[in-house]
């Protein structure tokens, strides 16, 4: 996948390298700047899990919106949460998406409002129940992240994890909240 941020940064660095040939005086300064930019990009990419990178999360939401029910179910992990429910089978995920896809534009123009790592104490954000407490304490997926999105149907809270081939997957949804 090509992330807009990465592509843009690569062009800037190439342009900076070209300029250094014409103006040797400022060569070392530009090289340093380019190196610093590269370092920032790479440290940024490697330190944040895929589920917490805004471009990856936006890409997931876009794919959930544009894909058909089967594609959306493929991007949904099991077990997954819907409000206070823990759904254990892939059929549950498929049923959910088959129905949600009948509501046109559910995720159209979805705007990501916030991305924060999920911790066990966040269980009440889904439901103040024993099931949810145990799920958040014992069974959170890899790199769990809470994502708040605004849609034309209202605000939703998503639980996103990042374990499948560098693409985040949906592990829960609550809303509209």
- By beta-carbon proximity to other proteins, the closer residue of 10 and 87 is 87
> Tokens representing 104?
């046109």
Rule CB under 8 A: say whether 67 interacts with other proteins: no
Q: Which listed range, 33-41, 58-66, 134-142, 164-172, lies at the site for other proteins (CB under 8 A)? A: 134-142
- By beta-carbon proximity to other proteins, the closer residue of 43 and 89 is 89
Torsion of CA 59, 62, 64, 69, to 10 degrees: -130
- By beta-carbon proximity to other proteins, the closer residue of 8 and 105 is 105
CB 112 within 8 A of CB 148: yes
In which residue are the tokens 């029910």 written?
Answer: 69
Rule CB under 8 A: say whether 135 interacts with other proteins: yes
State the sign of the Cα–Cα–Cα–Cα dihedral 110, 111, 116, 121: negative
Rule CB under 8 A: say whether 100 interacts with other proteins: yes
- By beta-carbon proximity to other proteins, the closer residue of 85 and 115 is 85
Enter the DSSP assignment of 118: -
- Residue 137's region, left for phi above 0, alpha for psi from -120 to 50, else beta, is alpha
Which member of 18, 103, 109, 165 binds other proteins (CB under 8 A)? Answer: 103
Site string for other proteins, 12-51 (x = CB under 8 A): ----------------------------------------
Phi then psi for residue 146, to 5 deg, are -95, 130
Q: Which residues pair with 111 in a beta bridge?
A: 150
Rule CB under 8 A: say whether 137 interacts with other proteins: yes
Chain residues binding other proteins by CB under 8 A are 79, 82-92, 94-100, 102-103, 106, 129-131, 134-135, 137-139, 153, 176
């Amino acid at each position: 996948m090509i992330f807009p941020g990465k592509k843009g940064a690569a062009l800037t660095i190439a342009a900076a390298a070209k300029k250094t040939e014409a103006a040797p005086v400022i060569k070392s300064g530009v090289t340093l700047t380019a190196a610093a930019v590269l370092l920032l990009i790479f440290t940024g990419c490697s330190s944040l899990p895929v589920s917490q990178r805004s471009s990856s999360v936006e890409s997931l939401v876009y794919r959930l919106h544009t894909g058909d029910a089967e594609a959306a179910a493929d991007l949904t992990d099991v077990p997954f949460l819907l409000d206070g429910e823990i759904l254990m089978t892939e059929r549950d995920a498929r049923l959910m998406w088959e129905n949600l896809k009948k509501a046109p534009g559910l995720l159209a123009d979805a705007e990501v409002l916030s991305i924060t790592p999920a911790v066990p104490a966040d269980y009440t954000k889904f439901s103040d129940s024993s099931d949810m407490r145990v799920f958040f304490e014992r069974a959170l997926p890899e790199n769990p992240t809470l994502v708040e999105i605004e849609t034309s149907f209202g605000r939703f809270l998503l639980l996103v994890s990042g374990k499948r081939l560098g693409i985040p997957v949906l592990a829960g949804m609550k809303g509209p909240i």
